Amino acid sequence: MRRNQNRRKLEQMLSESVKVALEGISALAALGLAAGGCAYAAMAPRSQIFGDTLVAPQGRGQIALTFDDGPNPAWTPQLLDLLAKHRAHATFFLVGKHAMEEPYLTRYIAEAGHVIGNHSWSHPNLALASPRKVRDELKQTKQTLEHITGAPVRFFRPPYGARRPDVLAAARDLGMIPVLWNAMTNDWAERSGEKIGHKLSERIDLLGRRGWAANVVLHDGAPERLGVDREPSIQAARILLERYIGVRRFVTVDAWV
Ligand SMILES: [Zn+2]
């Protein structure tokens, strides 16, 4: 009963964007780590309690579109065409094992001028992984991406936004800046691209009224396998590009360091 109450409290504390990670919080509870503050620090995208992370700077004019869980041969090429059409650049947080299977697509993302970041090798909840596993996940991905693209990987986004101080420290030791987000909806589960685009537009406008740039997450792939249908997410990207191009500036996250 008490555990249910704690869980409800946690759900209120967490933004909607990290509800996907609640299974991780249950696991944290199982490990006896579930003091509310601890879970908040580990999972909430804007919490800085476990160390500095890059979210977005003040200034209403900028939007960073970021795409997680690719590369995905089913949808990433169409996304790249869309971005090229609008002459916009984005940041792609790639899953290492997917990049290894799709080296040409990975290289093409980089050659098109987008920023590639590290999203771990196999997309585990790193807040629950051993320190050695954390380091292996980050290092193997960084080396693979750098081998494929020939360029240093400077950014890391933890799967589910889950982190501990040593996860962030491991990223920094490997020369990467941890990046979270401030605009996300459940695009991986929602089938209407229009709904996703509408929700994100509302969020971007709200952030803008409060004087903040937007760090938007969409998913062009999925952690478990290649080839997943991400049409609604790509449609949402199209909606955002059409709505904000010429009104806001689309940047990659390296513009913010
Ligand atoms: Zn992810």
Q: pLDDT digits over 180-193, tens only?
A: 999 999 999 999 99
Q: Measured in angstroms, how far is the CA atom of residue 220 from the centroid of ligand 1?
A: 10
Specify if 54 maps to a domain. Answer: no
Q: Measured in angstroms, how far is the CA atom of residue 1 from the centroid of ligand 1?
A: 31
Specify if 180 maps to a domain. Answer: yes
Residues 181, 101 share a domain: yes
Peptide bond preceding 71 in cis form (omega within 30 of 0): yes
| Range(s) of the domain holding residue 86 | 62-256
Specify if 56 maps to a domain. Answer: no
Q: How far apart are CA 83 and CA 162, in angstroms?
A: 29
Residues 80, 172 share a domain: yes
| 182 touches 55 (CB < 8 A) | yes
Specify if 116 maps to a domain. Answer: yes
The residues, any chain, with a CB within 8 Å of residue 90's CB and separated by 6 or more, are: 64, 65, 66, 67, 83, 114, 115, 250, 252
> What's the average model confidence in pLDDT over 205-222?
97
pTM, full prediction: 0.84
Residues 243, 181 share a domain: yes
Q: Of 230, 227, 223, 229, whose CA–CA distance to 97 is shortest?
A: 223
| 29 touches 222 (CB < 8 A) | no
**Active site members:** 68, 219
Q: Which two tokens stand for residue 147?
A: 């081998």
Average pLDDT over the chain reads 87
On the question of pLDDT at 54 being above 60, the answer is yes
Could you give the 3-state DSSP secondary structure of residue 223? coil
Q: Measured in angstroms, how far is the CA atom of residue 160 from the centroid of ligand 1?
A: 6
Q: Which residue has the higher pLDDT, 15 or 42?
A: 42
Residues 196, 86 share a domain: yes
Residues 122, 210 share a domain: yes
Residues 186, 78 share a domain: yes
Residues 73, 36 share a domain: no
Q: Measured in angstroms, how far is the CA atom of residue 126 from the centroid of ligand 1?
A: 11
When divided into structural domains, the chain yields a total of: 2
